[in-house]
A and B are shown apart, each in its own frame.
Chain A
Amino acid sequence: MKLENVTKKYKEKLALKNINLTLERGSIVGLVGKNGAGKTTLMKIICGNIVHYEGTIETPNDSVIGYLIEHPKFYPNATGMYNLIYFSEVFMKKVDKEYIDFIIQSLKMNDYINKKVKTYSLGMKQRLGIAISLLKKPQYLILDEPTNGMDPEGALDVLNIVKSMGQQYNMGILISSHKLEDIEMVSDTIVYIEDGLIKNITDKEQIIQSGVIIISLSKDEVDYAHSLIRDDVKIVSVNEQHITIEYIEDYSFIIKKLAQHNIFPRNIEKKLYSLKDYYFNLSKKGRA
């Protein structure tokens, strides 16, 4: 799926500006950003709920898109099973009962699937919403806050199921969540969106292999040490007792170089970034 220059205006306000994004089948893209950044609008456009926008969305012929946007939608006075049967019958010529049972079992909904949805907890409703999004065996799956209202254990469980079904059925998955650990757990690529603009697209591996090394020195050594290593590494910051450099896997040559000049750091601390750090760094840059 390829989005090119997707722009959406609400009256005079630009909600999305020239969004270019590719969602490959078999990959999971995590969409992060603050409230009102444009995540849901983007997802609604992809799903076909929003028809007024500029730009193009190219999908392979007859692609099926499953989605859960904002919060799960269903008939609350009917049972979970009725909802599943209803949406599969309405959308598919032949209902695959075995597949429905497989979804129910995978999402561990057996105990309550025959109860009325209005009696469900938020987490149960969320699972039903995910089940509905999977009914059509979609090639692309769009999930907006899929673990909302779930306990950490339940969220982990559901994300693992989504991930494994995505692999099994070769789905391209776009997932957004305010729980960054959820995104970190499942995504291959992270897209950071702010004020309707994609500010950054990064591989998750790249994020979690990035970070800093903090070299602690005595006050009088800092300037000299800085002058010795500044051409060899990327300096992030220098203060009275620390030199912070960008993370590198093998930093022994720096230690050697400093030792040759009789500088022996008091401490060397490796600090690897998590998605949270990545998010807050980008968020700070945005504010700046």
Chain B
Amino acid sequence: MITSKLVWFDIKKLHVSWFTYLSLLLSVVPAYGIAYAIKNLNGPFNIYHITSFYALLGSILCVILSMRLFTDDIHNEILTLLFNKKENRKKYLFAKFIGAIYVGFLFGITCTLVIISSEQYLKINADNLYLKSIINYILFTSFYVLLFFYFSTFYRKVTVLFVIAVLSISFLPNLIMTAIDSKMFPDIVVKIIEYTPLYFLPIKIGSHNFTSMEYIITLLSIVFLFFISTYSILRQDY
């Protein structure tokens, strides 16, 4: 199997799919909506509100879009054609990881374009977010795609995977936050929860204010997920 060809087909597929453009459009619309509110309604908002509104759907759609790169193969049982050698299974995972990075890059660059155009429109300066948004979306997408790829190695109901993905990005952090606020956990547990990517990634992807520690944890989690996904994919019967 040739990894680069697999990646190339995925990128081509992304670019000819209407869902990619719809996802980007749906992410951009709330951000521009809030930019309009700042300009014309004198709303008490700043550039972080624009990026947060972009992340409202953008964070979910970038994960869904990149998950489709492998869920289509699960749904159509293509994996049985591709997984005829252990080496091919590894290559497949790597190709999908690259695909996820590419989707993260697309959403990151779109976020940067939203920031740049908002700067022009609102006459404000937010150039510190240009590169950050690209890096953050790449890390965000990579983490969630690997997490759900890992789940998919032993649970292959695609619709359920999507539902869990959406819930874990949109509801899980709020649920955890409510639990933390209720003071039911000791401080040490709260600290651990706060440094869990499933908690801080969805919360901070809008404001892009990750700490260095959170970057390190995210990177380590991505490496860990990559390895356990490889381990799992090599041991599954298809």
Contact = CB atoms under 8 A, between A and B. Distances in A.
B76 A49 contact: no
Q: Give the contact-size bracket for chain A.
A: 20 to 34
B40 interface: no
Contact of B2 (A47, A65, A76, A93): A93
A132 interface: yes
A73 B77 contact: yes
Given A73-B76, A89-B2, A49 B9 contact: no
B72 A51 contact: no
Contact of A50 (B1, B234, B238): B238
B83 A49 contact: yes
Contacts of A89: 2, 5, 9
A141 to B, nearest CB: 13
Contact of B76 (A50, A65, A76, A91): A76
Contacts of A91: 1-2
Contact of B237 (A50, A65, A75): A50
A279 interface: no
B78 A90 contact: no
Nearest to A68: B81
B9 A86 contact: yes
Contacts of A74: 76, 78
Interface in B9-24: 9
Tell me the interface secondary structure of chain A in the complex: loop
B235 A90 contact: no
B86 interface: yes
A17 interface: no
B236 interface: yes
A284 interface: no
A286 interface: no
A90 B76 contact: no
B119 to A, nearest CB: 40
B84 A49 contact: yes
Contacts of B76: 73-76
Q: Which of A44, A67, A75, A90 has the most CB of B within 10 A?
A: A90
B176 interface: no
A73 B238 CA distance: 13
Nearest to B80: A49
A73 B9 contact: no
B113 interface: no
Contacts of A52: 235, 237
Contacts of A47: 80, 84
A92 B6 CA distance: 11
A99 to B, nearest CB: 17
9 nearest A-B residue pairs (beta carbon): A48-B84, A50-B237, A49-B238, A73-B77, A89-B5, A90-B5, A49-B80, A73-B81, A47-B84
Given A76-B76, A90-B1, 18 more contacts: A44-B80, A44-B237, A44-B238, A48-B84, A51-B235, A51-B237, A52-B235, A52-B237, A65-B84, A73-B78, A75-B72, A75-B76, A75-B78, A86-B9, A87-B81, A90-B9, A92-B2, A132-B81
17 contacts: A44-B237, A49-B80, A49-B83, A49-B84, A49-B237, A49-B238, A50-B238, A51-B86, A52-B235, A73-B78, A73-B80, A75-B76, A86-B9, A89-B9, A90-B1, A90-B9, A92-B2
Interface of A: 44, 47-52, 65, 67, 69, 73-76, 86-87, 89-93, 132
Interface of B: 1-2, 5-6, 9, 72, 76-78, 80-86, 234-238
